[in-house]
């Protein structure tokens, strides 16, 4: 319990810091906010004075590629537009994730992984949440559009109350903070946004049966319009932005795109009914002795 108490104390001091809010700007050039780290990448500058940059991450036989946000955030709303690898993308995984940097044992992570597929076969959006070092909270979706034809907006809203995952501003997944009953939730470790394209043909496509066709390489996914409204380090404190999130509203209080909770619940229900293809909370083969505690909580 000592660890939990320490987390809670750290969390309370974060809240105290957040009481003194000022504004942190969001938007701007991708390269002002992201470091392109490794692998075969491209930076395409648009015509709009550089504000419409696009980053291409590629995967070839030798390696994948990745970028990472220059800042870490302690709670944030992140939006990024992605156009996924077209055609035969089997074996490839395009991923954006928030991850804490220290203490692997107790690391926190919020994952969106796009699992490629054969030409004409649907991508899977695989989501997972790690808190205090443990994950295993997988929920998967089929998208309601072809994510390779155009850019679509994928968002993570991470507040002290909940994590929301949105696709084109529609909430598809919610994970609430239930620290009160001892379920870990990321509240005390800052996280950075990472974007990576890699090869995972041992498991990604149709359970690993379909392998990467390297004759199609290099594979490329494009990212643009990165927006982060978050709490960022400023001297010894954390300062939270309240910039205009897409859809309006204050990301920290207003939650998903400034939508009221009813609307958000409708969206989550629709995602569950129509687009969800796997949920760890209903996988009774995996949890014969009973589901994880959070599965029974609203
Ligand atoms: C794009 O803009 C960046 C930053 O100004 C510059 O370093 C880079 O060379 C430009 N790339 C291209 C392909 O024009
Ligand atoms: C958090 O992780 C630590 C280290 O692994 C562990 O000792 C502790 O029990 C965990 N806390 C909870 C609430 O799971
Ligand atoms: C790929 O397509 C097959 C057939 O439609 C489907 O069963 C599978 O879930 C799709 N996605 C992945 C990542 O394998």
- Taking the centre of ligand 1 as the mean of its atom positions, its distance from the CA of residue 43, in whole angstroms, is 7
pLDDT in tens, 159-206: 999 999 999 999 999 999 999 999 999 999 999 999 999 999 999 999
Ligand 3, residue 206: give the atom nearest the CA.
14
> Does the C-beta of 117 come closer than 6 Å to ligand 3?
yes
> Does the C-beta of 133 come closer than 6 Å to ligand 2?
yes
> Does the C-beta of 181 come closer than 6 Å to ligand 2?
no
- Taking the centre of ligand 1 as the mean of its atom positions, its distance from the CA of residue 47, in whole angstroms, is 12
Ligand 3, residue 123: give the atom nearest the CA.
11
> Does the C-beta of 106 come closer than 6 Å to ligand 2?
yes
Closest CA to 267 of 149, 143, 194, 172: 172
Q: What pLDDT band is residue 282 in, cutting at 50, 70 and 90?
A: very high
233-261 average pLDDT score? 61
Q: Which ligand has an atom closest to residue 186 CA?
A: 2
The residue behind tokens 């997972």 is: 128
Bigger pLDDT: 250 or 145?
145
Task: Return d(Cα 74, Cα 21) in angstroms, integer.
Answer: 13
Q: Report phi then psi at 290, rounded to 5.
A: 120, 145
pLDDT value for 102: 73
Ligand 1, residue 29: give the atom nearest the CA.
4
Domain spanning 23-288 has what CATH number?
A: 2.60.120.200
Any idea which residues carry the catalytic annotation?
109, 113
- Taking the centre of ligand 1 as the mean of its atom positions, its distance from the CA of residue 59, in whole angstroms, is 21
Q: Is 194 helix (H, G, I), strand (E, B) or coil?
A: strand
Burial category of 261 from C-beta neighbours within 10 Å (exposed 0-12, middle 13-18, buried 19 and up): exposed
> Does the C-beta of 46 come closer than 6 Å to ligand 1?
no
> Does the C-beta of 4 come closer than 6 Å to ligand 2?
yes
Ligand 2, residue 183: give the atom nearest the CA.
13
Closest CA to 139 of 249, 295, 297: 295
Burial category of 69 from C-beta neighbours within 10 Å (exposed 0-12, middle 13-18, buried 19 and up): buried
Choose one of 28, 29, 45, 48 to mutate for the ligand 1 pocket test, by most ligand atoms within 8 angstroms of C-beta.
45
Within 13 Å and on the Cβ side, how many CA atoms surround 58?
13
The residue behind tokens 């959070």 is: 294
Closest CA to 203 of 279, 288, 38, 90: 90
Ligand 2, residue 184: give the atom nearest the CA.
13
Task: Return d(Cα 72, Cα 35) in angstroms, integer.
Answer: 12
pLDDT in tens, 92-151: 999 999 999 876 789 999 999 999 999 999 999 999 999 999 999 999 999 999 999 999
Instruction: Answer yes or no: are the C-beta atoms of 256 and 171 closer than 8 Å.
Output: yes
Task: Return d(Cα 28, Cα 223) in angstroms, integer.
Answer: 14
Pull the structure tokens for residue 222.
């494009």
pLDDT value for 3: 44
> Does the C-beta of 122 come closer than 6 Å to ligand 3?
yes
The residue behind tokens 């940097």 is: 101
> Does the C-beta of 208 come closer than 6 Å to ligand 3?
no
Residue 56 has pLDDT above 70, yes or no: yes
Q: Which ligand has an atom closest to residue 6 CA?
A: 2
pLDDT in tens, 59-90: 999 999 999 999 999 999 999 999 999 999 99
């Amino acid at each position: 319990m000592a660890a939990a108490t320490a987390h809670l104390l750290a969390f309370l001091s974060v809240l105290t810091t957040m009481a003194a809010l000022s504004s942190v700007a969001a938007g701007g050039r991708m390269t002002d906010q992201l470091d392109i780290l490794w692998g075969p990448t491209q930076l395409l500058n648009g015509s709009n004075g550089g504000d419409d940059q696009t980053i291409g991450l590629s995967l070839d036989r030798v390696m994948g590629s990745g970028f990472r946000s220059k800042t870490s955030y302690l709670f944030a709303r992140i939006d990024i537009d992605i156009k996924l690898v077209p055609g035969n993308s089997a074996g490839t995984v395009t991923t954006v994730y928030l991850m804490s940097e220290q203490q692997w044992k107790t690391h926190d992570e919020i994952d969106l992984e796009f699992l490629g597929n054969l030409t004409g076969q649907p991508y899977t959006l695989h989501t997972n949440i790690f808190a205090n070092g443990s994950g295993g909270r997988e929920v998967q979706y089929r998208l309601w559009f072809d994510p390779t034809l155009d850019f679509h907006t994928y968002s993570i809203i991470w507040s002290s109350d909940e994590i929301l995952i949105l696709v084109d501003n529609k909430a598809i997944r919610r994970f609430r903070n239930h620290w009160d009953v001892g379920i870990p939730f990321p509240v005390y470790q800052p996280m950075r946004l990472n974007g990576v394209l890699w090869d995972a043909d041992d498991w990604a496509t149709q359970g690993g049966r379909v392998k990467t066709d390297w004759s199609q390489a290099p594979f490329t996914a494009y990212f643009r319009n990165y927006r982060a409204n978050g709490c960022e380090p400023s001297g010894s404190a954390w300062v939270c932005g309240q910039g205009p999130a897409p859809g309006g509203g204050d990301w920290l209080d207003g939650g998903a795109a400034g939508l009221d909770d009813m609307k958000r619940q409708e969206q989550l229900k629709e995602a569950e009914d129509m687009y969800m293809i796997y949920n760890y909370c209903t996988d009774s083969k995996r949890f014969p002795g009973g589901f994880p505690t959070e599965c029974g909580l609203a």
